[in-house]
Amino acid sequence: MESVRKKDVPVVTVLDPKFKYEVAREPGGENIKYCFQCGTCTSGCKVAELDSKYNPRKIIKMVILGMRERVLSGDFIWLCATCYTCHERCPQDVRIPEVMNALKNIAVREGYIHPAFRAQAELIAGHGRLYEIDELANEKRTDWGLTEIPQGCPEVAEIYGITGLFDLLSREVGGKT
């Protein structure tokens, strides 16, 4: 199926041979250079089994070849469920879910954040958590005999400010704020 070339997906001929070093400098991306393409990761990956868009071995090879734009702009890097099955099994300790995280971090800097992740990052900045703890939630907790929880956590937004994450979240494609 995948060997049939899709007419609307152009062949990538512009390669960036430095891309693999860029990924290897990113936290979690260090071991990408050791991959010898055995395919152990893909063969045990439940996501790859169900969704032909996702193939960890192929993504690693695309990075090594230097297909920077195709990889960073693609939805597929966001499809790793971080189940760590391949992480346990990879004979070269490539640590694939961490490599995917490294790629996602670079993609965010290039303005390619996945909307679901942007939404989560914004919620956490606002409430200090994924879900707001409002009065109703606390009332229910007290009814159950559980402790109340403060409604926000301003230090989380402070951390975003220190690391520059707010700026990154407003970035557009091309990496400009």
Partner 1 sequence: MKMAVFLGCTVPVRNLSYELSAKRVAGELGLELVDIPEFSCCGYPIKSVHHETAYLLAARNLALAEERGLDICTLCSACTSVLTEVSYELATNEALLDATSETLGMLGKKYSGKVRVKHFVRVLYEDVGLKSIERAIKRPLDMFRIASHYGCHYLKPSKIYDRFDHPEAPESLDRLVSATGAFAVDYRTKKDCCGGAILGVDEETALSMARAKLDDISDRGADAINLICPFCSVMYGANQRKIAANHNVKYDLPILYYPQILGLAMGISHEELGLMQNPIRPRALLAKIS
Residues in contact with partner 1 by CB under 8 A are: 26-28, 46-47, 50-51, 75, 78-85, 87-88, 95, 100-102, 104-105, 108, 113-114, 116-121, 124, 128-131, 133, 137, 140-141, 144-150, 153, 155-156, 158-160, 162-163, 165, 168-169
The answer to whether the CB of 58 falls within 8 A of the CB of 80 is no
Residue 93 contacts by C-beta under 8 Å, 6 or more apart in sequence? 31, 34
Positions in 22-51 near ligand SF4 (CB under 6 A): 35-41, 44-45, 47
Helical ranges in 66-163 per DSSP H:
68-73, 85-89, 96-109, 115-127, 135-143, 154-163
Q: Which does 121 bind (CB under 5 to 8 A by kind): ligand SF4, partner 1, none?
A: partner 1
CB of 174 to ligand SF4, least distance (A): 28
Of 107, 113, 98, 114, nearest to 68 (Cα)?
107
Q: Could you tell me how many residues of this chain bind ligand SF4 (CB under 6 A)? A: 28
Q: What letter represents residue 70's amino acid?
A: R
Q: Which does 151 bind (CB under 5 to 8 A by kind): partner 1, ligand SF4, none?
A: none
For 24, the token pair is: 């290897």
- Measured CA to CA, the distance from residue 83 to residue 86 in angstroms comes to 8
Q: Which residues bind ligand SF4 (CB under 6 A)?
A: 35-41, 44-45, 47, 56-57, 60, 80-87, 90-92, 94, 96-97, 130
